[in-house]
Chain A
């Protein structure tokens, strides 16, 4: 167990005495790091991601953890590529296994010439192409804490990948500088322990080189962070939430950001309080948002309906996870879509906006705030676990693309020149001019009860019909304001894909693969899910034989919404569905298309 790394016999990989193993050059590499929760796999992927980004490469990281801090299988992966990417690589080039389960979990994904690094102080294996290093023992004996084994593994990886030593170190400094002191010092030592073990290994360990990229000034971030940044830049100033995976980081980032712009963040006692605090703040005039996931969304349903009826502009970010009920808190799904389209009792308008990539998260959060305020209704940002928590490199955000639209907001001077001010004034497009409470000379009544233009309760049937149409017809009048879809692929193709959210990456990758096999496809990335973008969709569907709606749920929820809105296209739609808690891989989509299936990939 305590054998120093230098004496650990290499595994049975056949290498002749004089042979130097070939160094494989890659333009697209993936490393999967697996172990128990608490083994620090996320740190390894984060360090690698930082390094690759500094080499001008695009990076995508994903994580797969259980909903507990320690214990249970956990893994994270990092992919680096010269091309822009927004999905995990379907195969693994290097697998780092801190325990046997991780080896078993990761091996099926391993490339034919992929390599395995494993912690030989935890288990042994005599499988080919595996290299054992006693990471935990090395860290334990030299640093007093086995926990540093993850950074020791990073050290070995840095040799294996031919990293520049100074840059390798600086990445650790960058990552741990905030914690400083002992943490930084010990992690730097752990790096050297790993590097030394690799350099002194019986076999040369340098096996891969990733070709430097040309992408500079890239930022590495998750969708949650991009939503938080978009919120601030979009003028968001009030946030209330309640912790829930995978939404919590939005609140945590905003706790850091909002005070610097005179904004307020509160952790409420539950989601009922969170959404109602947001309603109160939005009513008072602050651009306001909450974020949540399935179970919290269920509780917020009441408030979303209230905002729709009372015409209070709020944004709700729904970071979808596996449902129903508590489901699988850390796993991926897109199964709130049907609920969101119909959320709440009674009829009221809402917009569902769905970013598909991390930078989309930034810009569409700005749009969501504009739309809510302008159209006086709840806007829901439809996110999913993979989009929220996986990180990818994005170009720096372009502030010149950010525009605020406050709709028919009335400043005090404008109010003073009007004959009247009515919160629910009937207008041709359904959106009423609004002034903030506190505006001299006027008061307003805002209520979820049916009301007249002044906001006084009314059950007059004529008024009811007028008010109902005022609200509901926003869905028609706002159409040209809603985020447009994006289409990718061959305009002459006969096969289509329709998807949204984090499936954007895997679908685009599946398109590339299908193309190399002679199958042309076209992809409609929906960025507004509701109202269903029927005009855009019919233009997209018209030339196609059929289109696969690719989504993460059992029932084909988005396909259902499209069929409901566009019944004449019923027969042209097929589904590719996955609901095992894990994001699509491009290969699964390719297989489904090649099999011609309409169905579930598991």
Chain B
């Protein structure tokens, strides 16, 4: 056995919601038998973004808000890797907002998990873009990522989960990873993951979450229906959770970015670049140039 980077003990506060996601991700990877070396976890900057240190996995710790761009780069360079990006709601919806919305459009088969805690945990409790009115003097209404995701006419997988329900969380992560592994495109999971130190919402959220799949008319393939169900649920003061979008059927055409670019799923990172092997192509290229 070659000795290499091993998980280190977590640095999170005891009781932090992020432990739920960590456990669920471990379980989901085990269930799908993904070996650690075949997975890359791209972490954001924040408490949540440190998660790659606490798992046996390849970790790429990105810049604040840039994890999705890096994750897409990894996936396009080697589509055989399972790429999971995990970061906070500040990371994703504030500084990373541009990349967040473009991730739906790019539709690379990566899993993006946002640990939603309404706050900036790592910088000690300032309002995140998701913070409710009044939190730390917040006077702006909160951003809702699920509604934003549903507004985009893309064949992505979209779900909201709750760290307080690790069983469902595991199930959703498994489905999301399978979606990715079938090269069907981008999977976005917003996990409600309370920050027990600066915004302990465990009790409140446990009471408020409502699984939309229990509602009459639920149809995760119909964005209009799901948008309405979410708004109605929110109007009642509840928090909609569950699978919010999954395309009705498996497309026969390449939908994901990596399949469109690399139909054989062999990425540039593992393509031989030696001169000898490429000589005929290079000579043709140079002959036609200039």
Chain A residues at the B interface, C-beta cutoff of 8 Å: 219-221, 225, 229, 232-233, 235, 237-238, 240, 257, 260-264, 266, 268-270, 272-274, 276-288, 302-303, 306, 310, 394, 396-397, 399, 402-404, 415-416, 418-423, 436-449, 454-457
Contacts and interface: CB of A to CB of B under 8 A. Distances in A.
Contact of A445 (B37, B61, B70, B279): B61
Contacts of A264: 76-77, 261-262, 267-268
A277 B73 contact: yes
B216 to A, nearest CB: 39
B2 A238 contact: no
Contact of A260 (B61, B71, B281): B281
A438 B39 CA distance: 7
B99 to A, nearest CB: 6
Contacts of A303: 63, 66
Nearest to A232: B285
B16 interface: no
Contact of A439 (B37, B102, B271): B37
A365 B48 CA distance: 39
A277 B233 CA distance: 37
Contacts of A270: 98
Contacts of A277: 69-70, 72-73, 76
Interface string B255-290: 000000110001111110111001101110110011
Interface in B66-115: 66, 69-78, 80-81, 98-99, 102
A233 B74 contact: no
Given A235-B273, A399-B279, A423 B3 contact: no
B70 A283 contact: yes
Given A264-B268, A280-B71, A447 B61 contact: yes
Interface centre among A270, A280, A446 (most CB of B within 10 A): A280
A269 B290 CA distance: 30
Nearest to B96: A272
Nearest to A398: B286
A257 B285 contact: yes
A410 B6 CA distance: 20
A404 B269 contact: no
B4 interface: yes
B53 interface: yes
B108 to A, nearest CB: 10
For the residues of A in contact with B, the DSSP-based class is mixed
A233 B56 CA distance: 37
B63 A283 contact: no
A287 B77 CA distance: 9
Nearest to A391: B290
B274 A404 contact: yes
Contacts of A441: 1-2, 4, 37
Interface centre among A286, A288, A423 (most CB of B within 10 A): A286
A302 B131 CA distance: 27
A273 B99 contact: yes
Given A419-B3, A455-B5, A440 B279 contact: no
Contacts of A261: 271, 278, 281
A281 B63 contact: no
B289 A225 contact: yes
A219 B77 contact: no
A109 to B, nearest CB: 28
A269 B99 contact: yes
B28 interface: no
A439 B36 CA distance: 10
The 4 A-B pairs with the shortest beta carbon distances in the complex, nearest first, are A280-B73, A219-B290, A235-B273, A237-B268
Contact of B72 (A280, A422, A439): A280
Contacts of B71: 280
Contact of A444 (B58, B74, B75, B285): B58
Contacts of A286: 77-78, 267-269
Contacts of B8: 456
Contacts of B36: 443
Contact of A446 (B6, B50, B59): B59
B73 A276 contact: yes
B77 A281 contact: yes
10 contacts: A229-B289, A264-B267, A279-B73, A280-B60, A285-B77, A286-B268, A402-B275, A420-B3, A438-B58, A441-B2
A62 B245 CA distance: 54
Nearest to A306: B63
Contact of B37 (A278, A279, A443): A443
Nearest to A259: B261
Contact of A238 (B98, B268, B285): B268
A384 to B, nearest CB: 20
B63 A284 contact: no
A442 B2 contact: yes
A192 to B, nearest CB: 28
A444 B57 CA distance: 7
Given A260-B281, A280-B60, A280-B75, 9 more contacts: A233-B286, A238-B269, A269-B98, A272-B99, A281-B74, A281-B77, A284-B73, A284-B269, A422-B4
Nearest to A275: B69
A177 B261 CA distance: 28
Nearest to B35: A440
B53 A276 contact: no
Contacts of A257: 285
Contacts of A220: 290
B2 A415 contact: yes
A540 B73 CA distance: 43
Given A278-B73, A285-B78, A420-B2, A269 B102 contact: yes
Given A272-B66, A399-B279, A449-B61, A284 B290 contact: no
Interface string B110-126: 00000000000000000
Given A257-B285, A443-B57, A221 B290 contact: yes
A436 to B, nearest CB: 6
A440 B36 CA distance: 9
Contact of B268 (A262, A272, A302, A456): A262
Contacts of A262: 262, 266, 268, 271
Contacts of B35: 440
A26 B22 CA distance: 76
Contact of A263 (B73, B268, B279): B268
Contacts of A278: 73
Contacts of A394: 290
B38 interface: yes
B176 interface: no
Nearest to B95: A272
A217 to B, nearest CB: 10
Nearest to B283: A399
Interface centre among A221, A419, A447 (most CB of B within 10 A): A447
Contacts of B80: 438
Nearest to B273: A235
Nearest to B42: A280
A434 to B, nearest CB: 12
Contacts of B223: none
B40 to A, nearest CB: 5
Nearest to B1: A441
Given A219-B289, A280-B60, A421-B2, A288 B66 contact: no
A440 B42 contact: no
A343 to B, nearest CB: 15
A448 B61 contact: yes
Given A276-B73, A277-B73, A280-B72, A420 B4 contact: yes
